[in-house]
């Protein structure tokens, strides 16, 4: 399951990091720390999300 979660992480992390960056830019926070912070938060949130998605795929 770890291998599946790792593959899913590569897709989910880029999506969530992109959503975070777009949200920060739309909010008007145009600074490098805000953009990097949003990308990092998206990458961190993707860890449990990818694990949960992998678990749902394995169970079904």
What total of structural domains would you count in the chain? 1
Does the pTM surpass 0.85? The reply is yes
Query: pLDDT digit string (tens) for 20-53?
Result: 999 999 999 999 999 999 999 999 999 999 999 9
Query: Quick one: pLDDT at residue 44?
Result: 97
Residues near 24 by beta carbon (within 8 Å), at least 6 away in sequence = 34, 35, 37, 38
Residues near 34 by beta carbon (within 8 Å), at least 6 away in sequence = 24
CA distance 44 to 23: 16
Give the DSSP letter of residue 13: H
Strand, coil or helix: 55 = helix
Domain span including residue 44: 1-59
Burial level of 19, CB count in 10 A (0-12/13-18/19+)? middle
């Amino acid at each position: 399951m770890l291998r599946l979660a790792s593959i899913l992480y590569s897709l989910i992390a880029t999506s969530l990091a992109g959503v975070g960056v777009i949200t920060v830019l739309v909010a008007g926070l145009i600074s490098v720390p805000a953009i990097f912070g949003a990308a990092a938060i998206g990458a961190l949130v993707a860890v449990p999300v990818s694990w949960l998605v992998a678990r749902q795929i394995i169970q079904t």
